[in-house]
Structures are given as C-alpha cells and as structure tokens.
Copies of this chain bind each other. A is one copy, B any other.
C-alpha cells in the first residue's frame, strides 16, 4: 500500500469516526430532550455497558458466528444458481419474457410474508433464516445478471461468431466476463438486501444469531440489548458493504470502467 492510499484510509477512518460521534451526540440529545426513561430509550452509556458485557461473556461472538454462517450459506446458495440461471435466461429472450413477470410478481412480496410456508417446508432453526436470506439475495442477482447478459456489447458476440466459438466457449469466454461487472453490482445489491433481511430471517424460529439477539432482547423488554444488536448489525453491514465495494472497484478498474 502506497503512502497516498494510507493517507486516504486515514482520512476515511477519521470521517467515519466523526460520523459516529455525531450519531452518538444526536442520540444523547434526543434522550435528554425527550426525557425518556431507560426502559423506553436506553442511554449510549448503558448500551455501551451491554455491548461490553456481551463481548466479554462471549455471547456476541457466538451469535455473530451463527449469523455470518447463515448469511454466507443463504447468500452463496442464492448467488450461484442466480448467476447461472441469469446467464441462461439472458440468452433466451423468449423464455425470459415469460419468467420475468413471474419474478416481478413474486419479488415485491416481503420474505416475511412467506414465513408460515417457510416454517412448513423448512422447519425451524437455521433453515428459515437461510431461506429468507436466499430469497432476498436471489432476485437482485438474477435480474442484474439477465440485464448484464442482455446488454453485452453486440460486437463481442460478433467476435465470438467470427472465431467460430461453440455455445460453451461463448458463455465462458464472452458472456460471463462481459456481464461480470453487472453481475458484481448485482452481488453488491443482493448483499445489502440480504443483510437487511437477516433480522427478519432470524425472527422465524431461530434461537441464535444477531437477528435473534434483537428479537429476544425486544421480547424480554431489554431495549439496550435491541440497540446493541442494531449497532452490531449496522457495523457488520457496513463492513460487508465496504468489502464488496472494494471488490467492485477492483473489477471496475480491471475492466477499464471508471467509477
């Protein structure tokens, strides 16, 4: 890492810290002005205590691992078939014209609404959370992959024809790499929405995980636990987003796409 990049990183961390400080300040001010009791709006100090406690006694680590595991499972299970299916459907406009409305009708339905059926088919424990994350991640990746495949530069296809490529070669050497930037932006989008639905996923019959932590804290009227959970979800979501942004930027620079 060069000196410039190091300075850049330093500046980002500073900005982040200032942002978080402002957030804390606003929170404390609301608390003071609204004069809310602890049971309704815990103070930053109390939430900090809760967080430290959770870190020290290890509960946090356990739930974190569980959540990340489920998230990884649901996300990976979603994106692999979504990309493959998207590549195929993107090349089959006739079929896509029929599949598209099906997806467009299913997509606006919140994964939460499906929960009775998810429990019916997938039971309780890890699976419902994984399924909900799957649903949340699958559609964005599928749609962006199809869109990406459709807008592959016609010239690339002509080059492939000129080289007398067969279908598999066409997919592997042309379609996939050409659609790759679109696919990655779909992965980014999907990561965000899947993470948002982690809480919803872990509400359905899960006994662990960050989402459960929030739900359980809420059930036991422990609002400082709810806020601690929110903070973890927010920070982790932020970190995941930055990681995939880095990947996206790398792809962009590699493909010669200026951001």
Determine if A7 is an interface residue (Cβ-Cβ < 8 Å). no
How many angstroms between the C-alpha atoms of A107 and B229 in the bound complex? 14
Q: Who on chain B is nearest to A22 by CB?
A: B102
B20 & A113 in contact (Cβ 8 Å cutoff): no
- Complex-state Cα separation, A203 to B199, whole angstroms: 15
Interface of chain A, helix or strand or loop or mixed?
Answer: helix
Contact with B along A6-26 (1 / 0, CB 8 A): 000001000110111011000
Determine if A257 is an interface residue (Cβ-Cβ < 8 Å).
no
| 6 additional A-B residue pairs with CB within 8 Å, beyond A108-B234, A200-B200 | A41-B120, A108-B192, A108-B196, A108-B233, A110-B199, A110-B233
**Complex Cα spacing A155 to B149, Å:** 31
- Sort A-B residue pairs by CB-CB distance and give the 7 closest, nearest first: A108-B237, A19-B101, A110-B199, A105-B234, A19-B102, A16-B101, A15-B97
Confirm or deny: A244 has a beta carbon within 8 angstroms of a beta carbon on chain B. no
Report the Cα distance A102→B234, complex, angstroms.
10
